[in-house]
Amino acid sequence: MKLKRLILLFLTTIQLSAFAQVTEKIKQEVQKQIQPALDLCTYLHQNPELSFQEFETSKKMAAILREVGFDVTENFGGNSVVGVLKNGDGPVVMLRTDMDALPVEEKTGFDFASTKTSKNTTGEEVHVMHACGHDIHMSVWTGAVRTLAALKNEWKGTLLVIAQQAEEFSGGAGAAIEAGLFQRFPRPDYAMAFHINPELESGTIGLVSGPVFAGVKTAEITVFGKGGHGAYPEKCIDPVVIASRIVLDLQTIVSREISPLEPVVVTVGSIHGGTRPNIIPNKVKLELTLRYYSDEAIEKVIAAIKRISKSAAQMAGMPDDQLPNVNVLPAVTPPVLNNADLSEKIHDFASEIIGDKNIINPAPAMVGEDFGKYGRTPENIPICLIWLGSTEPELMKKLISKGERPAPLHSPLLHPDYQKTIETGISVMTNNVVGLMNR
């Protein structure tokens, strides 16, 4: 028994030494990839494209994949690009990046700030900016695939990568899945992605096991009334008053009907009704955003919205055939639920290359991200979305000392530490892939 333990210890020591050597090779190769990735990021930042319009961006991603030896499929489910690199027998690991920018006018003052404008889906000319870090995501993604291609002798398996359209519209992941992503290409054993986080310092990552991004649904409530002259309210049934009662009562869903341990958001983002101050309208429309982590919770929320809306109208005397219409839109962004086992593996791999002290465990966020759709397919693929710290440490300290915080995602003032953020992302993602392939 003692001999067996000694042999096991000896073999483990050899294995750890081999892993350390591979990690060192990754660090060396990443240094070669930083400048090309930075150059790409500058280009992408100056040439952003809106959701469903990522025509030139997708061509750029496809060209880089071909350059390093991937089999490439363009215009997949829209503007998405899929690449496959087979390198012997082993696991299939998927890496996703998003490509689209936002209709935001940049105010950073960077030398490479975006001055682009484009027409949105309604034909309106708008400014365009990478205000959500997708330029960094693409630069990390391409840096990682280049590093992995250069180190093919250090891993065995298949690398499936997708540069995805329209994440901001929550349409890109669904379109790729519907086009047969997991039928036409090798089915992944694991899927990973990054998202920058200005609340974390560059050089760090944020890793959550379980819920990391919320699911998102949109609901519309059309409230009917009996319109008339504003001077004769007794002859009318005012839908503005009904809508106001609904708005207030909706606040009790989270505070009184959902467990305090279950994160849920019910926000009324818009109210539209009426044309003149002296006219009681016939209807009012409310638009809501709903955020959640569990399917059970969101179904309970939707049922409560319908009940509250119906009751408010009945209290006002509206007949049963004119009660509010509650419409939950079919487009949905599911929650991003990181696989616990995969998250644990990534923690181990990331600590080897950036150190355990640089791995943060942030609270889950209530914003949405359509990466979660890849984990909700019948294939039941383990997924992990990793936060990538993006604010320069000295800037973070300076801001905190003044009682301020970094500009958030979607801000025209978003100010990432590009070099360190990209270097960290390439290093961590490359080591994650090599670790999953080899261990």
Catalytic residue numbers, as ranges: 98, 168
Q: List, as one string, the DSSP characters of 280-320.
A: E-SEEEEEEEEEES-HHHHHHHHHHHHHHHHHHHHHTT--G
> Helices 418-438 and 2-46 meet at what angle, rounded to 10?
140
Burial zone of 165 (CB within 10 Å; 0-12 exposed, 13-18 middle, 19+ buried): buried
What is the C-alpha end-to-end distance of the chain, expressed in Å?
26
Other CB atoms within 10 A of residue 403 CB: 6
Query: What 8-state DSSP symbol labels residue 179?
Result: T
Query: What 8-state DSSP symbol labels residue 153?
Result: G
- CA dihedral sign, ordered 436, 365, 326, 331: negative
Query: What 8-state DSSP symbol labels residue 199?
Result: E
> CA nearest 335: which of 379, 367, 361, 360?
367
- CA dihedral sign, ordered 72, 76, 80, 86: negative
The residue written with tokens 């950073």 in the block is 108
CA distance linking residue 10 with residue 352, whole number of Å: 20
